[in-house]
């Protein structure tokens, strides 16, 4: 299997008023990629400018970041032609690698706009090199710039940053430095969600488990689904009794804590996401935690309860004030 380390540059509307900006907020103007073999050695490269078809003036942020002029892009080829060449160059047996989670989503959005054959009909497994850098060298949570990673690893800066090819080149250099075990922490791009219950994503990593659901009509339907709300031990598959029931501090994230006799306390977190078509889907993560972390979640639950109570009290007080004021208003009229 080869590694396709890809980077994209894109342009956007300068006014935001065009109707097409809702369908294609970012038009790809450059694709750069490095192909690594199974030993993560560079074996080929890809670099193409794309002639604009949607946005014909350069957004000021894009111009400042990548140092490209519109007249340079006029020498590029249309996106469908470049995409066909890029597919052929990638080959058959590969995994995409990107710095951060956005490139694959925008690539697929451009593919859909031009009504080309999709890269896949469901989620795409890929390597987020930015996330892997944090797992390999830092705290697993921080997200650093590519240039920071290059400096951290003392990699020679032999070409300029902030063009698609150069950023793919440096991301490939970072990927090549990592221990093989880190690469097991792959990610999923969910531009295309699982089509049905049977194709939903269940995966266990070294420190946590992840579930990605199919699409639901709305949030309420998602939160009524038994699979979404279940809490099973992802190590022994035993159904667990919840010690802290599901609660939400903000209406977007939901938490619970269950207990496994064999593996201890397990925290579950549900994040509600919106799909491209407006439907809702769920990303649920589960991991084992300490008793101290259980206490912190319990405190978060109590805080959420107090806030709900305060909101209800405030709402009732406002309603009572409006009722008390109504007769006086009527009398004065």
Q: Percent of the chain having pLDDT more than 90?
A: 78
For residue 331, the model assigns a pLDDT of 47
Contact by Cβ (8 Å): 108, 16: no
Q: Percent of the chain having pLDDT more than 70?
A: 96
Higher per-residue confidence, 242 vs 66: 242
pLDDT in tens, 74-108: 889 999 999 999 999 999 999 999 999 999 999 99
How deeply is 239 buried, as exposed, middle or buried, from its count of CB atoms within 10 A (0-12, 13-18, 19+)?
exposed
For residue 327, the model assigns a pLDDT of 59
* Torsion angles phi and psi, residue 254, rounded to 5: -125, 140
| Average pLDDT of the residues of the chain | 92
The answer regarding whether domain 2-188 maps to CATH 3.40.50.970 reads: no
Per-domain residue ranges of the chain: 2-188, 196-298
Contact by Cβ (8 Å): 269, 257: no
For residue 127, the model assigns a pLDDT of 98
pLDDT in tens, 207-239: 999 999 999 999 999 999 999 999 999 999 999
Q: Which of 44, 75, 31 is nearest to 164 (CA)?
A: 31
* pLDDT over threshold 60, residue 111: yes
- pLDDT band at residue 204 under the 50/70/90 scheme: very high
For residue 317, the model assigns a pLDDT of 78
* Cα→Cα distances 127→7, 32, 96, 218, 306, Å: 13, 16, 6, 30, 41
* pLDDT over threshold 90, residue 64: no
* Average pLDDT, integer, range 138-142: 94
* Average pLDDT, integer, range 174-192: 97
pTM confidence score: 0.87
pLDDT in tens, 14-54: 876 777 888 999 999 999 999 999 999 999 999 999 999 99
* Cα→Cα distances 248→198, 209, 226, 261, 310, Å: 28, 20, 18, 26, 15
């Amino acid at each position: 299997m080869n590694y396709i380390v890809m980077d994209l540059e894109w342009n956007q509307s300068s006014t935001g008023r065009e109707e097409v900006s809702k369908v294609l907020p970012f038009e790809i103007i450059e694709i750069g990629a490095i192909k690594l073999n199974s030993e993560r050695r560079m074996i080929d490269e890809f670099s193409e400018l794309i002639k604009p078809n949607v946005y014909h003036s350069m957004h000021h942020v894009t111009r400042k970041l990548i140092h490209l002029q519109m007249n340079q892009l006029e020498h590029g080829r249309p996106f469908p032609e470049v995409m066909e060449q890029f597919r052929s160059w990638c080959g058959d047996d590969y995994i995409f690698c990107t710095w951060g989670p956005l490139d694959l989503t925008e690539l697929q959005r451009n593919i859909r706009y031009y009504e080309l054959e999709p890269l896949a009909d469901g989620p795409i497994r890929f390597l987020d090199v930015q996330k892997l850098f944090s797992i390999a060298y830092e705290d697993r949570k921080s997200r650093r710039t590519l240039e920071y990673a290059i400096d951290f690893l003392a990699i020679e800066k032999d070409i300029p940053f902030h063009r698609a090819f150069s950023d793919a080149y440096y991301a490939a250099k970072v990927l090549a430095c990592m221990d093989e075990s880190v690469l097991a922490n792959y990610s999923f791009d969910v531009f295309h969600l699982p089509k049905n219950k049977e194709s939903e994503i269940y995966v266990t990593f070294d420190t946590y488990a992840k579930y990605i659901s199919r699409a639901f009509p709305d949030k309420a339907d998602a939160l009524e689904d038994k699979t979404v709300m279940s809490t099973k031990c992802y190590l022994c598959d035993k159904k667990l009794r919840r010690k802290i029931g599901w609660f939400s501090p903000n209406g977007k994230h939901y938490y619970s804590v269950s207990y496994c006799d064999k593996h201890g306390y397990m925290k579950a977190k549900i994040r509600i996401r919106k799909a491209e078509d407006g439907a809702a889907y769920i990303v649920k993560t589960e991991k084992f935690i300490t008793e101290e972390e259980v206490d912190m979640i319990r405190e978060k639950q109590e805080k959420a309860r107090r806030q709900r109570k305060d909101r209800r009290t405030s709402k009732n007080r406002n309603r009572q004030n409006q009722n008390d004021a109504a007769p006086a208003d009527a009398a004065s009229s």
